[in-house]
Structure 1
Amino acid sequence: MKANEGNDDQLSELEWRRLADKAETLAAGRFAETDRVAERNNWKVIRAFRKHKVSDYHFASSTGYGYNDRGREVLDLVYADVFGAEAALVRPHFASGTHTISTALFGVLRPGDELLFVTGEPYDTLRKVVGKPGDGIGSLADWGIGAKSIPLLADGGVDFEAVAAAVTPRTRVFAIQRSRGYEWRSSFTIDRIAEMVRRLRQIKPDAVIFADNCYGEFTEEREPCEVGVDLIAGSLIKNPGGGLAASGGYIAGKQELVEQAAFRMTAPGIGAEVGAMLGTTRSIYQGLFLAPLLVSQAVRGSIFAAAVFAELGFETKPGWDEPRTDLIQAIAFGSEAPLVAFVQAVQRAAAVDAHVVPEPWDMPGYEHPVIMAAGTFIQGGSLELSADAPIREPYIAYMQGGLTYAHVKLAVREAWETLRARGMLDGMSVRRDQ
């Protein structure tokens, strides 16, 4: 190694330490709050385990029909308690969050009903579930179920006047998407969801209020059902699976609505009474036990990333000092090249498939090419560190997850080094102490 190369390495290390130390000092208060939330949520999970006397025999496998699988039945009870619901349906048979949400919506909606998204357009993959009349794919529209989306106000709030104007006698379900999806907006805190519930009840008291809870579980001390939401759904390979659940999803809420979803999951009249767990029960229980801690590690990582990239002059949402209600950290790059470089850097920081170079591609269910970094132990497991982005203006990367804070910190460093080496930080207004 030449002498000047060694000096460059030392200078790079010194710059990184200064940047990382500054970010961690700024975020110390937010880190402490995250630890407090994790502690309270871990206690909540343990209390549910104790209440239902979870024992080793509940982890036994079942096959075939899975009749009288007591571990599965108790798992549903534990989830219901943890999420403040009357009932829950927790199964490895759900292929994804989209599949789980689709099951919930098809369970409670009937031909002639109408679904009203009150938080803007739904996430990209749900648009195919909504569908178009006569599309022949079995979408909601194909079954004669209407859907409308009410754009959010300029400040990111729900336009309740527009919601009230859009309601008809057919309106059966109000849908809330808690996380930002691929939108440059704030995710909705539980307090804001509580206000939505209050206002929506005034508009149409008998409508079902549904919330897509993906990415939000355990980021706050309360969950949507605890503030009046009737039905929620999420994925086990996101927050509540704790990095151990290999597949699956959950639906929780009012008993009648969960039962309707269960009839859609299997068959009318059968519902939740069947479903062999095939050796997955232990990992789902243990993943739930670990989830509050691991979610807090991911949230810490997101806060750190926001602080670092804010110091580098990039716009981030949420900011490092803002409340957190999901895992997702959005960073606006403004052009395609630094966006792609960032996502590829996250992949290089992975423990699995670090040698793979992600490229944008036309991913099923998405309207634009998408680039995804996902070096995960569970394929698609977004409680693990991942990053993805649609290739469209304003070129925003969405980073989420990280089973350990140290892993996220490494990925942020890898991204910083990559952007720095390629001159993509030149001209950015880096903030420094005077």
Structure 2
Amino acid sequence: MKTLDALKRYSHLFEAAEEQIKEICHIVDNTVLSNQGRVLAAFQELQVDETCFYDSSGYGYNDFGREKLDSLYATVFGGEAGLVRPQYVSGTHAIASAIYGVLKPGERLVSLTGRPYDTLQKALGLTVGSNVVLYDETDMSNGLSEIELDRVLTPDTSIVFIQRSRGYAERRTLTVDDIRILITAVRQRRPDAVVIVDNCYGEFTEEQEPCHVGADLVAGSLIKNPGAGLASSGGYVVGRSDLVERAAWQLTAPGLGSGIGCMAGVKRLYYQGLFLAPHQVGQSLKGMILAASLFAAIGYSVSPRWDEKRGDVVQAVRLGSAEKLRSFCRAVQAASPVDSHVEPNPAPMVGYEDEIIMAAGTFVQGASSEFSADAPLRHPFSVYMQGGLTYEHIKLALAAVIAQLDEQFDFLTQ
């Protein structure tokens, strides 16, 4: 069934959902306006001009556009310095460079949001029996525990890690205010500990970022929110200038750091992507709010709820079976602009323990700034949607998903 036909068939569901979420979407629009104003002011303050887009070559020495892009990210995200590079192969790579750039032998890393995302678990050596780093964890995503903080924040704790988004966990995503509360509690016990926040999926979902509330470093991926679908690769680190430089040493080599690195063919897209990001994230947020309303209305458990404050652009729906999960992802793929004829199947993927099914008919491979859905094949078979360049595409794709599941499983009667 074509997406427009599906939307007409289930128009009663969509009309009811859009009426329900109208006020929440107005709040999103206000957030977009505030963030767009902050980004525009940063561009103007730093006097971005056409020369910033010129390519560099070789070692990339004296790359004025690269240096200004670093400063732009620092200004927008509330840090002293920034590091924005196409050489980062993923968000995990950027986060790992921040962690290993700061962590010294014998020092300890503590996660306050439970076990990290699957790919970072491998980067830290948490899945191979012997840890690469000294490590402890506690999950405070549902609220602060003074007793647990006293237990884990031992004198040898060097880094406190906070993962903003849930990954494939069943926990809630943290808001910036949640992060502020955690950082305040950490500072009372370990004022010298470095707080590193995995900011993936969270950029521009609120009017502040983690560095605005005291994080020392934040890191993320350019093919997620801040690239707005235009960045074809890369990652970023923002925060304290000394720590950003240590992350740069980890990315390149000690003594080289942020002063080197050719950027050919990407700078204009990085600048333009950052400028468009507040609007694109707003489109994603409204699409995920619509999805939450729709699937809750037909009886499925969703997280977050449509009226819940959001800290990222991810929407989880608990489907309950592997068959529904496969069908859901295949419908998303079929409703995509790219590779719509391809049928996704679960498969092993580098960095993950379980087989993963991914629906990502995207212009940039794996870009979760674009509407996509994925999940590990494990109980309770929740699917994780994210992104969306336009609200209209998300709406059409959701109609196609509901049509497919209704036809195959009598979805609306479950």
- TM-score normalized with structure 1 length: 0.92
SS in 2 for 1:358: coil
- Matches of 1:168 and 1:385, distance apart in 2: 42
Summarize deviations over 1:153-186 as a string: whole Å, max 9, x none: 7xx2243421321222221000000011111222
Aligned to 1:111: 105
Structure 2 stretches lacking a partner, 5+ long: none
Q: 40, 54, 68: which one pairs with 2:34?
A: 40
CA-based RMSD of the aligned residues comes to: 1.8
Shift of 1:345: 0.7
Aligned to 1:338: 324
- Matches of 1:363 and 1:230, distance apart in 2: 32
Give the total of aligned pairs.
412
Q: Does 1:349 align with 2:372?
A: no
AA paired with 2:200?
C
Judged with a 3 Å threshold, the aligned counterparts in structure 2 of structure 1 residues 276 and 88 are, in CA distance, closer, same or farther, namely same
- Matches of 1:385 and 1:14, distance apart in 2: 21
AA paired with 2:115?
E
- Matches of 1:327 and 1:374, distance apart in 2: 15
- Matches of 2:26 and 2:183, distance apart in 1: 30
Q: Is the 8 A contact 2:158 2:193 kept in 1?
A: yes
Q: 95, 105, 125: which one pairs with 2:119?
A: 125
Q: Does 1:368 align with 2:354?
A: yes
- TM-score normalized with structure 2 length: 0.96
AA paired with 1:171?
T
Alignment of structure 1 residues 15-34 onto 2, 5 Å:
15-34=9-28
SS in 2 for 1:372: strand
Aligned to 2:139: 151
- Matches of 2:228 and 2:114, distance apart in 1: 29
Aligned to 2:389: 403
Q: 237, 258, 265: which one pairs with 2:223?
A: 237
Q: Is the 8 A contact 2:106 2:134 kept in 1?
A: yes
Q: Is the 8 A contact 1:109 1:172 kept in 2?
A: yes
Shift of 1:324: 1.5
Q: Does 1:319 align with 2:305?
A: yes
Question: Share of identical aligned residues, percent?
Answer: 48
AA paired with 1:336?
A
Q: 76, 92, 109: which one pairs with 2:86?
A: 92
Judged with a 3 Å threshold, the aligned counterparts in structure 2 of structure 1 residues 294 and 133 are, in CA distance, closer, same or farther, namely closer
Aligned to 1:102: 96
Shift of 1:423: 2.5
Aligned to 1:250: 236
AA paired with 1:37?
T
Alignment of structure 1 residues 168-207 onto 2, 5 Å:
168-207=154-193
Shift of 1:119: 0.7
Shift of 1:13: 6.0
SS in 1 for 2:411: coil
SS in 1 for 2:409: coil
Summarize deviations over 1:3-46 as a string: whole Å, max 9, x none: xx9xxx99x76551110000100000111111111111111111
Q: Is the 8 A contact 2:54 2:65 kept in 1?
A: yes
Aligned to 1:431: none
- Matches of 2:75 and 2:84, distance apart in 1: 13
AA paired with 1:22?
A
The structure with the larger Rg is 1
Q: Is the 8 A contact 2:121 2:127 kept in 1?
A: no
Judged with a 3 Å threshold, the aligned counterparts in structure 2 of structure 1 residues 146 and 312 are, in CA distance, closer, same or farther, namely same
Shift of 1:134: 8.9
AA paired with 2:319?
F
Q: 333, 356, 359: which one pairs with 2:345?
A: 359
SS in 1 for 2:357: strand
Summarize deviations over 1:351-394 as a string: whole Å, max 9, x none: 00001100111111111111000001011110001100011111
- Matches of 1:304 and 1:122, distance apart in 2: 28
AA paired with 2:138?
I
- Matches of 2:209 and 2:22, distance apart in 1: 25
Shift of 1:152: 4.0
Q: Is the 8 A contact 1:307 1:320 kept in 2?
A: yes
Summarize deviations over 1:167-224 as a string: whole Å, max 9, x none: 2222100000001111122210111111111111112111001100000000000000
